[in-house]
Amino acid sequence: MSKEIFPPQVDETLKELETHGSFELPVETYTDNCVIFHSLYNHWHKEMEIIRIDEGSGLARLNRETLRLQKGDILMVNSGVIHGIKSDLKNILYYRSIVFDLSFLTSPAGDLCQEQLISRLMENKAEFTHLVSPDDPNYNRISFIFSEIHDCHREKKPFYYVKLKSLFYGFFYEMLVGNYIVTPDAEQNRNLASVKIVLDYINEHYREDLTVKELAELSNYSEYYFMKLFKQYTGKTVASYLNDFRLEKAKALLLHTDSSITDIALDVGFNNTSYFIKKFQQANQLSPHKYRKNLS
């Protein structure tokens, strides 16, 4: 059964705080949906993540790239990538995911797999392209191994951890022969670090009045370049991102507290309750009151 998705808890750098798997086996599998929270907060984690869309449609944002998601698509989230998912309101996303630390696959120095692939992925010297579509030549094999990994980890049959490691290497092999690997741009990595600093600040100060000038100074770029860069990585203007971020925070308060609509609006950074209600209605096709009533 699918479980409802809740916004990930993040630290001061928007790094996700949830532990995926254990120290001995840093792998976790999930079956999620976007029934309540149509948007998954922009966040990042050092683990890689593989997501397969089982039903529905929506959009994914990975660093500067926006991808249209459809049933069957496989999304590759490389280590450290800022990412988020937004479901179409009338075609809710249902998906499975595998989150794993690459340390699970490490080998001694000098090992060919370690030197040519695992180390390069861990050091951000190589990354997988973000989308594998059903019409791609290697799709069937890649999708099959994804399901094998997911089932293997869920079922946990005797000695499953041996099979699990072999399946991951099989998955990576199919990605390599399908030419789904690229070399990241050094400048892109620097820009990404600057954007993470700003997203960190927004996460901590979203209740306050924030200005483009203030955020641009944090990035060490001019206002013009910062606004361009911010939109490249988030797909939104600063004002739109702030509004959407605050609205997502408001959803949790509507569902899990008895606070009034006015108090919630103020608590998430809206100084005008009427404006908050208007923006919430536009984003969710429901007023805050009806959202709370229907989904609590």
Say yes or no to pLDDT of 1 above 90: no
Say yes or no to pLDDT of 23 above 70: no
Say yes or no to pLDDT of 19 above 70: no
Say yes or no to pLDDT of 228 above 80: yes
Q: How many residues does the chain have?
A: 296
pLDDT band at residue 6 using 50, 70 and 90 as cut-offs: very low
Q: Which amino acid is at 182?
A: V
With a pLDDT cut of 90, the percent of the chain lying above it is: 68
- Nearest CA to 295 out of 30, 8, 9, 34 is that of 34
Question: What does the alpha-carbon distance between residue 136 and residue 128 come to, in Å, rounded to a whole number?
Answer: 15
Q: Pairing relation of β-strands 27-33 and 3-4?
A: parallel
pLDDT recorded at residue 37? 67
Alpha-carbon dihedral 134, 168, 128, 193, rounded to 10 degrees: 130
Say yes or no to pLDDT of 12 above 60: no
Average pLDDT, the chain: 89
pLDDT recorded at residue 124? 86
pLDDT recorded at residue 192? 85
Strand partners of residue 40:
85
End-to-end CA distance of the chain: 19
Q: Encode pLDDT of 144-181 as tens digits.
A: 999 999 999 999 999 999 999 999 999 999 999 999 99
Across the range 107-128, mean pLDDT stands at: 93
Across the range 45-63, mean pLDDT stands at: 94
pLDDT recorded at residue 22? 66
Question: What does the alpha-carbon distance between residue 97 and residue 135 come to, in Å, rounded to a whole number?
Answer: 20
pLDDT band at residue 235 using 50, 70 and 90 as cut-offs: confident
Phi-psi map region of 111: left, alpha, beta (phi>0 left; psi -120 to 50 alpha): beta
Q: What is the DSSP string of 72-117?
A: T-EEEE-TT--EEEEEBTTB--EEEEEEE-GGGG---TT-HHIIII
Q: Encode pLDDT of 82-108 as tens digits.
A: 898 989 988 999 999 999 999 999 999
